[in-house]
Chain A
Amino acid sequence: MAASRAPTQWLSSFGKLTKFRTRRLLLSQMENDSTSIQSTLPSFSQLVYDIWTRLLVYLDTYWQLLKQGQSDLWFHLGVEVFFIIIILYLWFQKSYEPKRRRDKLTEKEIDNLVHEWKPEPLVPKRQLSRRVRDYLLDNELKTLPTEVEQLLLAEYYERESYLPSPREVLSLQSAPTAHCIVNGKKVINLGTCNFLGFAEDDSIKQACAEVLKRYGCGSCGPRGFYGNLDVHIEAEQKIAEFMKAPAAVLYSFGSATCSSVIPAFSKRGDLIICDEAASYFIQTGIALSRASVRWFPHNDMTTLEKLLAETVSNDPISGKVTQRRFIIVEGISSKFADVTPLDKVVELKNQYRFRLIVDESYSLGVLGKTGRGALEHFGLETTDADIVLADLGNAIATVGGFCCSSEEVANHQRLSSAGYCFSASQPPFLAKACTAALNKLQNEYSSRLAQLRENIQCFQSALGTLEGVRVVGHPESPLIFLRLEKSLASYAMEEQWMIKLQEALWSEGVFVSVPQYLANDHVRPSPGLRLCISSNHSPKILKTAAEKIRKTVSKFLVAGSPKKYCP
């Protein structure tokens, strides 16, 4: 009621004001009715009323005095009017704008420019360089006609060799077991990252078949929109339990995991310190986050410490920082197969107050007592790193990825991580495969991991050292790289050399992998063979394979050119 009454009173008081304009009446109002007004008007209107009256009284007095002829008042009036004019001038003046001279193109000029413009072809032309490369390989690299040399140089300068040449892919025709069928031939499999033999495990396959029969193949929706099946929730719980982390988030693709998680947490203005040899998708994640990034040489802890100290040295004494800072490393390096000294990294991270992201794609199910990865290998817990990521496509032998972290971080991803939010969820049977594989690993870790380590040692000792070839790897890493000690004329030729070697090995009965690297990868390792050891290889198989690799590689090296070698 009070609220509805107030405006009418206010209006009526205004009405009164407009009525009593003359000085006499105003003054008498002031003297006589002030008490009655105070009692009826609300306080705000009282204030307005007071100001208005005082103003009128003041102007009136001024006018009276002027009429009496006081000359100094005229001077005052002049000054005040002058100031008012200046204020009004400044108020309405146009803001200063330097004249921009933009010569606008006419429509006809634009038409001409459009007509002139010649786009590059969508696909870079590469036929020429391939021909050159074949010629070189056929002719043992020695007698180069000058024109071919020129072409090669031109190619080198134009960075055409920056793209690898097309290759015929060897295609698998069976499960990636110890012996597999490739292009119709039964060969020893050292090519797939099925480290624990879960891809063809019967009990896991059984579990998958049941899920396929019950839930069909795909989930037909993102996790947010009815693509959130009970098997996904189960898999997430299993991962969290296995990794001993508070929470886990399941992604439908391994490579989309790190490139989504990193930009979900670091934004422009944040700082990421990252290992130079980190995988391409970590680099993509960093690029997408738009954070500033500093690289340290692969596994170089002194440089890392220097970078960290440098960053922290500019901090305010109060310890309040607004910049989020991350260190990103891999457990087992995907390019060099060595193990990152995580004990040192965690120590530094705590000392300099950085957050740590560890990519355990190749170390999960391989390192550590129970197979939890590189952190466990160094006697650390998963919670010692802030975020632990992994691709499930290696030892766990399914398709997908996960991210282990605190509850808070996990929940944030469910709304802000592009690869989680905007992608269909993992097919239910693949989630089930993850649960079943982790269950199996939990039950049989001692035997499986011991077998794997034994196999790695057996293979490494059987392979020994090869002349002219670097054997790159860690004694506990199931990945082994063979790279040439003396590099060839160009990167592309070296790649071609390795691909021919792969084909030759296949015809000898060993299936190996030759990973190719993009030219815009931050660190591009020289091309090489990648050998993957699995726990289901028998020592006999490994010894035969090592023998065959030794033989073929040395033949290749002796021949100098792969074309000369005829199996």
Chain B
Amino acid sequence: MKNNSSKSLYDRIPYIVALTTYFSYAIVICFGHLKDFIGKLFRREKFLVPKGYARLLSDFEDFYTRRLYSRIRDCWSRPVCSAPGAYIDVMLRDVINYGEELRINGKIKRCLNLGSYNYLGYADVPGGVDDQVLRALDKYGIASCGTPNDTGYTDVHARLESLVAEFLHQPAALVMGMGFATNAQIIPCLVGPGCLIFSDELNHASIVVGARASGAKIKIFRHNNARDLERQLRLCIAEGQPRTHRPWKKILIIVEGIYSMEGEICPLEEIIRVKQKYKCYLFLDEAHSIGALGATGRGVPEYWNISHSEVDILMGTFTKSFGAVGGYIAGSRELIDHIRNGSPGCLYSSSMSSVCAQHILFALEQVMGKDKTNIGREKIVRLRENSIMFRRRLIELGIQVYGDPGSPVIPIMLYPPAKIAAFSRECLARGLAVVVVGFPATPLLLSRARICLSAAHTKEDLEYALHVIEQVAELIQIKYNSKKMIEMQLEEEEQILKAAEERRQKNTTSNNVNGQVTKVEENTRFQSFLPSCHQVLHGKTTEMLDIQWLPNHMEYHHNRPRLAIDSSY
């Protein structure tokens, strides 16, 4: 277990960086107010509110959007015109009047994709989607135009639900059409007024929405900190409900498997210990960890070598690892029956499109090895190797990264706001599509770039990505770690990986089905590399000829003769 429970995310910021970050926000805000002041003097009509109405947008939010966000707006919502596979075609835009308008200029740039949640590479299977998905489109139509509890339930949904239940070793499961809505519309069915929710401070917005909609009292505990959870739990149970001091009806702890902005893995062992000790229920959101963690992709419980039935409510999404859309809940049959008949998500929302359900079935069958191939398992192993390798290399570069080794989400810390835009733009110019995040999605100081690795990335892709990130890191000076810190962190990572490996060994010996999983032939790993390389080097469309980074990338490849690409061409 990583001892980050006592460590705050703020500990690693160098003082001078923290100071300059605050300073740069102060400057931008001052200039923003100055501009507003002048604007109100000379361009009154832009700030006028119709008489008798209140301003529709609240002041700070509006100010933030106009004066801070719009300056670097081009780093987000980049239009894309390809499948979100290992490479994506980003449509470039012209920035007009400091971000007031972004106009698509018709140029297209092919980039290595480090931004999409395509962990297992199911966003881009050969031929777009499998044939059975197209057949499902033909048979079931686009959507079933009904609610899952009533008329919108098809036999594809039924098959998917039983397969999900089997995958997670649970008696039953249900699926919904949207991952966000799964949390937002099902938590209110589990708890209500008089109940208490303990939620990790970094939980996803959908959990926050669901918890607030439920009417239960919400308490926040420190991120990944089971000790803080226990301390607060004891007090809450002892004191009962506020004011009336009646005992709580039930207490639900909500945690995520992998935290999407931090890349940290939930310390499930400790949480479960607390949960059992204090008779609470546990809701585990595996949006990012299902498919991505564990030797067979069964998520955090498998990573910690814990039985899935220790968790009361297993929730996850199909958007990430399975390259579709929607969410699931797995648990006891009673629980699923209850949710199916008593949650707004099942009674009033539309059901998942059968086409998506079929795609998930296809992906899940591969992951479970039901299609008699080894493809799914190879993908899981490749993803893990990619994440471990990429993370270690980033640390060696002296870049500050958060999260746990083995998680496919790797945040790179940037801190000052100007570096958000610089990192994103410089990477794009070099053919790397990365996601950057700043305030308000993160705390003011902790702006970051987020790398999402995929099983679709080959070693060469990642080498190239590392090469670019090194260049950019040098350029914008984000190598905040000293040599000593690098060594310390590497050592720490080594220990965690060793422990994880031991757990996996224990798991495989107890369950010899998974015996051959960990070894993957070198040859098969590079098979999928060939088409993507082919696309890159020979161009997929004519627009791709003006790819700026192409010569650079090729040169890079030629400098490294031992790569597989040379032996294959």
Binds B, one of A93-101, A150-158, A415-423: A415-423
Q: CA–CA, A164 to B337, complex, Å?
A: 10
- B91: chain A residues at CB < 8 Å are 230
B77, B125, B234 pick with most chain A CB within 10 angstroms: B77
* Pairwise interchain contact B157-A209, C-beta atoms closer than 8 A: no
Asked, given contacts A229-B80, A319-B51, whether A204 binds B142 with beta carbons under 8 Å apart, the answer is yes
- B147: chain A residues at CB < 8 Å are 515
Judge if B58 is at the interface, Cβ distance under 8 Å.
Answer: yes
Judge if A518 is at the interface, Cβ distance under 8 Å.
Answer: yes
Q: Nearest Cβ in chain B — how far from A228, in angstroms?
A: 5
Judge if B2 is at the interface, Cβ distance under 8 Å.
Answer: no
- A281: chain B residues at CB < 8 Å are 344, 348
Q: Nearest Cβ in chain B — how far from A278, in angstroms?
A: 12
* Pairwise interchain contact B323-A518, C-beta atoms closer than 8 A: no
- A109: chain B residues at CB < 8 Å are 238
- A394: chain B residues at CB < 8 Å are 145
Interface residues of A in 229-272 (CB under 8 A from B): 229-230, 233, 252-256, 259, 265, 267, 270
* Pairwise interchain contact A164-B139, C-beta atoms closer than 8 A: no
* Pairwise interchain contact B154-A218, C-beta atoms closer than 8 A: no
Q: CA–CA, A174 to B138, complex, Å?
A: 9
Judge if A325 is at the interface, Cβ distance under 8 Å.
Answer: yes
Interface residues of B in 112-144 (CB under 8 A from A): 113, 115-118, 122-125, 127-129, 133-134, 137-144
* Pairwise interchain contact A217-B52, C-beta atoms closer than 8 A: no
* Pairwise interchain contact B128-A163, C-beta atoms closer than 8 A: no
Asked, given contacts A119-B248, A218-B318, A399-B143, whether A515 binds B347 with beta carbons under 8 Å apart, the answer is yes
Asked, given contacts A166-B337, A217-B324, whether A199 binds B151 with beta carbons under 8 Å apart, the answer is no
* Pairwise interchain contact A324-B138, C-beta atoms closer than 8 A: no
Q: Nearest Cβ in chain B — how far from A369, in angstroms?
A: 23
Q: CA–CA, A177 to B113, complex, Å?
A: 40
* Pairwise interchain contact B190-A122, C-beta atoms closer than 8 A: yes
Q: Nearest Cβ in chain B — how far from A64, in angstroms?
A: 52
Judge if A435 is at the interface, Cβ distance under 8 Å.
Answer: no
- B140: chain A residues at CB < 8 Å are 172, 174-175
Judge if B338 is at the interface, Cβ distance under 8 Å.
Answer: yes
Judge if B505 is at the interface, Cβ distance under 8 Å.
Answer: no
Judge if A167 is at the interface, Cβ distance under 8 Å.
Answer: yes
- A199: chain B residues at CB < 8 Å are 141-145
* Pairwise interchain contact B247-A218, C-beta atoms closer than 8 A: no
Q: Nearest Cβ in chain A — how far from B162, in angstroms?
A: 12
Interface residues of B in 526-556 (CB under 8 A from A): none
Interface residues of A in 250-306 (CB under 8 A from B): 252-256, 259, 265, 267, 270, 279-281, 284, 287-288
Give which listed residue, A172, A270, A412, contacts B153 with CB less than 8 A.
Answer: A172
B contact residues, range:
35 or more
Asked, given contacts A117-B247, A217-B359, A427-B356, whether A397 binds B142 with beta carbons under 8 Å apart, the answer is yes
Judge if A475 is at the interface, Cβ distance under 8 Å.
Answer: no
Judge if B340 is at the interface, Cβ distance under 8 Å.
Answer: yes
Q: Nearest Cβ in chain B — how far from A347, in angstroms?
A: 15
Asked, given contacts A213-B129, A215-B128, A218-B325, whether A119 binds B84 with beta carbons under 8 Å apart, the answer is no
Q: Nearest Cβ in chain B — how far from A465, in angstroms?
A: 25
Judge if B355 is at the interface, Cβ distance under 8 Å.
Answer: yes
Give which listed residue, B128, B151, B348, contacts A172 with CB less than 8 A.
Answer: B151
* Pairwise interchain contact B53-A422, C-beta atoms closer than 8 A: no
Report the number of A-B residue pairs with Cβ-Cβ less than 8 Å. Answer: 358
* Pairwise interchain contact B356-A412, C-beta atoms closer than 8 A: no
Closest to B339 in A: A123
Closest to A517 in B: B347
Judge if B149 is at the interface, Cβ distance under 8 Å.
Answer: yes
* Pairwise interchain contact B338-A124, C-beta atoms closer than 8 A: yes
* Pairwise interchain contact A176-B145, C-beta atoms closer than 8 A: yes
* Pairwise interchain contact A120-B249, C-beta atoms closer than 8 A: yes
Q: Nearest Cβ in chain B — how far from A238, in angstroms?
A: 16
Judge if A81 is at the interface, Cβ distance under 8 Å.
Answer: no
- B157: chain A residues at CB < 8 Å are 171
* Pairwise interchain contact A175-B155, C-beta atoms closer than 8 A: no
Q: CA–CA, A416 to B65, complex, Å?
A: 10
* Pairwise interchain contact B84-A226, C-beta atoms closer than 8 A: yes
Judge if B76 is at the interface, Cβ distance under 8 Å.
Answer: yes
Q: Nearest Cβ in chain B — how far from A411, in angstroms?
A: 7
B313, B347, B353 pick with most chain A CB within 10 angstroms: B353
Asked, given contacts A217-B323, A429-B355, whether A421 binds B278 with beta carbons under 8 Å apart, the answer is no
Judge if B9 is at the interface, Cβ distance under 8 Å.
Answer: no
Interface residues of B in 77-121 (CB under 8 A from A): 77-85, 88, 90-91, 113, 115-118
Q: Nearest Cβ in chain B — how far from A421, in angstroms?
A: 7
Q: CA–CA, A198 to B280, complex, Å?
A: 47
- A113: chain B residues at CB < 8 Å are 237-238
Asked, given contacts A205-B141, A219-B84, A221-B115, whether A422 binds B238 with beta carbons under 8 Å apart, the answer is no
- B249: chain A residues at CB < 8 Å are 119-120
* Pairwise interchain contact A319-B52, C-beta atoms closer than 8 A: yes
A204, A209, A253, A394 pick with most chain B CB within 10 angstroms: A253
Binds B, one of A52-60, A72-80, A187-195, A549-557: A187-195
- A391: chain B residues at CB < 8 Å are 350
Judge if B202 is at the interface, Cβ distance under 8 Å.
Answer: no
Q: CA–CA, A443 to B178, complex, Å?
A: 31
A175, A254, A259, A516 pick with most chain B CB within 10 angstroms: A175
Q: Nearest Cβ in chain B — how far from A252, in angstroms?
A: 6
- A408: chain B residues at CB < 8 Å are 56-57
Q: CA–CA, A124 to B349, complex, Å?
A: 23
* Pairwise interchain contact A414-B77, C-beta atoms closer than 8 A: yes
Judge if B146 is at the interface, Cβ distance under 8 Å.
Answer: yes
Binds A, one of B33-41, B204-212, B217-225, B401-409: B204-212
Q: Nearest Cβ in chain B — how far from A531, in angstroms?
A: 11
* Pairwise interchain contact A175-B141, C-beta atoms closer than 8 A: yes
* Pairwise interchain contact B123-A220, C-beta atoms closer than 8 A: yes
* Pairwise interchain contact A393-B179, C-beta atoms closer than 8 A: no
Q: Nearest Cβ in chain B — how far from A178, in angstroms?
A: 12
Q: Nearest Cβ in chain B — how far from A413, in angstroms?
A: 11
Judge if B16 is at the interface, Cβ distance under 8 Å.
Answer: no
B177, B247, B325, B355 pick with most chain A CB within 10 angstroms: B325
Q: Nearest Cβ in chain A — how far from B479, in angstroms?
A: 25
- B65: chain A residues at CB < 8 Å are 411-412, 415
* Pairwise interchain contact A216-B129, C-beta atoms closer than 8 A: yes
- B52: chain A residues at CB < 8 Å are 319, 321, 353
Judge if A448 is at the interface, Cβ distance under 8 Å.
Answer: no
- A214: chain B residues at CB < 8 Å are 82-83, 128
Judge if B352 is at the interface, Cβ distance under 8 Å.
Answer: yes
Give which listed residue, A114, A200, A399, A414, contacts B278 with CB less than 8 A.
Answer: A114
Q: Nearest Cβ in chain B — how far from A302, in angstroms?
A: 22
Q: CA–CA, A173 to B177, complex, Å?
A: 18
Q: CA–CA, A322 to B55, complex, Å?
A: 7
Question: Can you give 6 contacting A-B residue pairs, CB < 8 Å?
Answer: A205-B142, A217-B123, A233-B79, A255-B181, A418-B205, A516-B341
Query: Which residues of A come within 8 Å of B, CB atoms?
Result: 105, 109-110, 113-114, 117-124, 126, 163-167, 169-177, 191-194, 198-200, 204-205, 208-209, 212-221, 223-230, 233, 252-256, 259, 265, 267, 270, 279-281, 284, 287-288, 319, 321-325, 353, 355, 391, 393-394, 397-399, 408-409, 411-412, 414-416, 418-419, 421-424, 426-427, 429-430, 433, 511, 513-518, 520
Q: A171-B153, A204-B142, A399-B350 are in contact. List 10 more A-B contacts (CB 8 A).
A: A114-B234, A172-B140, A175-B140, A220-B117, A220-B320, A253-B177, A355-B53, A355-B56, A419-B184, A430-B143
Query: Which residues of B come within 8 Å of A, CB atoms?
Result: 51-58, 61-62, 65, 69, 76-85, 88, 90-91, 113, 115-118, 122-125, 127-129, 133-134, 137-155, 157-158, 177-181, 184-185, 188, 190, 192, 204-206, 209, 212-213, 215, 234-235, 237-238, 247-251, 278-281, 312-313, 317-320, 322-325, 332, 334-335, 337-338, 340-342, 344-345, 347-350, 352-353, 355-356, 359, 433, 435
Closest 6 CB pairs of A and B: A175-B141, A393-B350, A423-B180, A253-B178, A213-B128, A353-B52
